[in-house]
Structure 1
């Protein structure tokens, strides 16, 4: 019986230790890296499905109501028209007479008052600008909410609503795929820079309705051969009433336009962000760039679970090794 068991046991342990030490650290680090990448890819697949589904759903909702009246704009139009009717800017007969004493011509006085009243009326209509901007901001905020909830992009900035779109339009890199201009960045820029305004949507359509308050236009009431302050007053009154009525008709025809515009700009955004070729790859690259900001908590929790699992495996392995050592000792002792 061989009583010199120590070298044999040491040899067994040395070989086992050598195999374990040489291979343990590197594979675990590689496994950890692969694990986090796999987590990211799985998370991205889920988010991509959620993002595309919710953007498509929003677009369908906008499509269904694109011919509906914009209630906010309708309300603001009523307010603006009421102000136009109550604050006309039309002078009194006494004021017309005093001005005649300066100008020495009722024709000149009449034309100057027409220009002033037209400017006064159009000034009141500028209040529609706020309602139009709010209408588009509401839609931009709906898009932003989806980006926050379904793509976690709210983690990148404190901005919310339409401001989030503007921030992302700046922050997204110009190239996500090397040497190719980013389609995502362009999409965000288009949506961020698009504005719905009175001057852009309404003003040019309303101006023809103000021709009755424009001197020497065909629609403008003419003074008689022997005009008076009273005639100037009456003509101004009639011209103003007709102009407000015409503006009201024109404005009522535009009540669905904000919804049509909202649908068009969101469809443009959806086309460029989830339907265009290679844009899914751009999303994946973008989220990879910012994943440390977006998914630290998620990956941290999953990484902790992985770490605990590895520890449990290592502990089980240690127990197995200790058991094997005991078995080896008894085996040698029995030789």
Structure 2
């Protein structure tokens, strides 16, 4: 424990040695242990947040309100304890014992500090009747020459610690996020009902806003404050707030200063590693001072010296004195055991009687109350001796009591978290048989050849097979419709044969070349035209393949309930998407993949099915004679006329179309036969093959919650919720071990 106060060094050791021993004992292991406990508390908070989120998502969330309320209360307590631990860690990590010096404006704090440290007005400005020191100062006892370090605000700390509190307290809109925004802000004269608010607004407007140009250059950009060493001669410029007879500032650097640290040898050589923390005088309308006070007391101060200088005419304790004490008690535990009252006797004002009266009527609880002349080094050091002797005798016990209070609360917190964990476990009703329920449900839904999904799919594809087998006895309606459309096109668009003034055009061609060439060229044109016409049969063949894919997809979607796996696509688009899904995520299902590939890649085309069968007739119109048996109708000579050529072309064209028509009548059955063959190959792979059922069972086992969202999906969701409950509760149990919350041995 901290305590080791019972085995304090005594005897001939000096006070400075005892101070050093106390610092060493405090910092030996406690800061490290506290840091571990901080992490463990944060882990508890995270686990509780996850638990709270689960409770909010619980179907009967109303019934969980008491638990949520308990968790919320515990989270607040965790945040409080983290703040306390942070303060403890800061206190126990310090290399000095710190004495805070507090008091209202102009009570003699700076005078006392000068008397103790031997510094002068150059380092600690103190003038009668004014708040001279405007920034927090820390005076540390250290051998050697005087060293002074000024910490200047960064842009972020200046806005957050100095400017924003005014905006928040005065409820001003649009807090500035940059110094430029603050410079452009509109802060006109305005009225407030409360005198306090008027004073605050005056400080913001007249001190900080209107004088920004005088000190802005000192504020460093970014987030981190800037530290710099300054000379003794410069100190007053950075810490003193000078005002003229109208109350307006005449010095400005202090507005950009966050803190001043002064190291120097104190007048008393036996004080050891101590520091005096001078907190700016309260009551001068600087809103940030109270926040600085609370933060400083919580982290930087071990004991407090309250300084007050009574008026020789009106000497009684004021409400402001009690308010200051109460504010200090908010930040520093056991203030009664950590505070001293110094009533400042002034030779100039002859307030001895007033001092005596205040000492006799003091109601605030402090270790002791002394009357001393703060301007007298002898009196000041007598006070310091008294405080230091008390510190060396009692500070470890006081710190131990403070730490023990925190430790006791942490143990109670651990117990309350465990109670919440147990209550949550009972409330969520964790079950362990979901897996068997889901497996049983899936087995029933998938079924066999006699019932269930597998039976329905087998029947549907068998019926599809029969349907396509019967269609083999009939011509393809899509191709037949396409052929009729092409025949009509052949009659309506026959090139030179249906052109106006056909003979004149042929005659013109004869004159341009000769009858033989004209006849041959027009035959080639008719051949090309027929090829173009019949190539449109491709559309009918595509319709055939699309119709096959639509029928297969319909079974997979409606009977197999697989549409949900492919974004509710249909027809060929569904088959393509479904195949890609299986290839990507279920590549081990080889039989299923093979069947899907067979149907997805099924295509019938004009170039593959029809063109090879009819091109032998189309080529007859070519001027290249491949066979002597297929000579042109007309033997053209030099004197052949245009009318004869036109008549011959008509005969050639009609004969070729008739031959193609006869050939196509034989082909009208081919698309149906090809479709049946492809469907049968599909069914062989995905239904009848010995591995087909096994592949489907594996596949559906993996996607069962999507396919059967109500029957299995809801069960799996509940199972996942239960598993999440169990995991979260187990995690909370793990992080809430009692051994992880102890930092005192």
Taking structure 1 as the reference length, what is the TM-score of the superposition? 0.77
Match of 1:163 among 573, 582, 590: 573
Give the structure with the higher percent helix: 1
Deviations 1:64-113 (A, max 9, x none): 221212223222211210110121112511111212232x2221222111
The 2-side partners of 1:207 and 1:300 are apart by: 58
Shift of 1:155: 0.8
1:311 corresponding residue in structure 2: none
1:6-85 equivalences under 5 Å are 28-29=431-432, 31-45=433-447, 46-85=452-491
Match of 1:191 among 591, 594, 599: 599
Q: What residue ranges of structure 1 are gaps of 5+ in the alignment? A: 1-20, 307-335
Whichever of the two has the greater Rg, that structure is 2
1:90 corresponding residue in structure 2: 496
1:245 corresponding residue in structure 2: 658
1:267 corresponding residue in structure 2: 680
The 1:294/1:135 distance shift into structure 2, 3 A limit, reads same
The 1:268/1:304 distance shift into structure 2, 3 A limit, reads closer
Q: Is residue 2:545 matched to residue 1:136?
A: yes
Q: What residue ranges of structure 2 are gaps of 5+ in the alignment? A: 1-424, 720-745
* Superposition CA RMSD, Å: 2.5
Shift of 1:173: 3.1
The 1:304/1:94 distance shift into structure 2, 3 A limit, reads closer
Q: Is residue 2:564 matched to residue 1:152?
A: no
Q: Is residue 2:607 matched to residue 1:224?
A: no
Please tell me whether the aligned partners of residues 85 and 244 of structure 1 are also in contact (alpha carbons under 8 angstroms). no
Please tell me whether the aligned partners of residues 51 and 150 of structure 1 are also in contact (alpha carbons under 8 angstroms). yes
Please tell me whether the aligned partners of residues 212 and 221 of structure 1 are also in contact (alpha carbons under 8 angstroms). no
The 1-side partners of 2:584 and 2:690 are apart by: 17
The 1:213/1:88 distance shift into structure 2, 3 A limit, reads same
The 1-side partners of 2:672 and 2:695 are apart by: 30
- Count of aligned pairs between the two proteins: 280
Q: Larger deviation: 274-283 or 291-300?
A: 291-300
1:277 corresponding residue in structure 2: 690
The 1-side partners of 2:636 and 2:520 are apart by: 14
Match of 1:201 among 606, 609, 630: 609
The 1:25/1:139 distance shift into structure 2, 3 A limit, reads same
The 1-side partners of 2:484 and 2:437 are apart by: 61
1:313 corresponding residue in structure 2: none
Give the structure with the higher percent strand: 2
Taking structure 2 as the reference length, what is the TM-score of the superposition? 0.36
Q: Larger deviation: 218-227 or 164-173?
A: 218-227
Please tell me whether the aligned partners of residues 515 and 636 of structure 2 are also in contact (alpha carbons under 8 angstroms). no
Tell me the secondary structure at the aligned position of residue 472 of structure 2: coil
2:209 corresponding residue in structure 1: none
The 1:80/1:269 distance shift into structure 2, 3 A limit, reads same
Please tell me whether the aligned partners of residues 175 and 182 of structure 1 are also in contact (alpha carbons under 8 angstroms). no
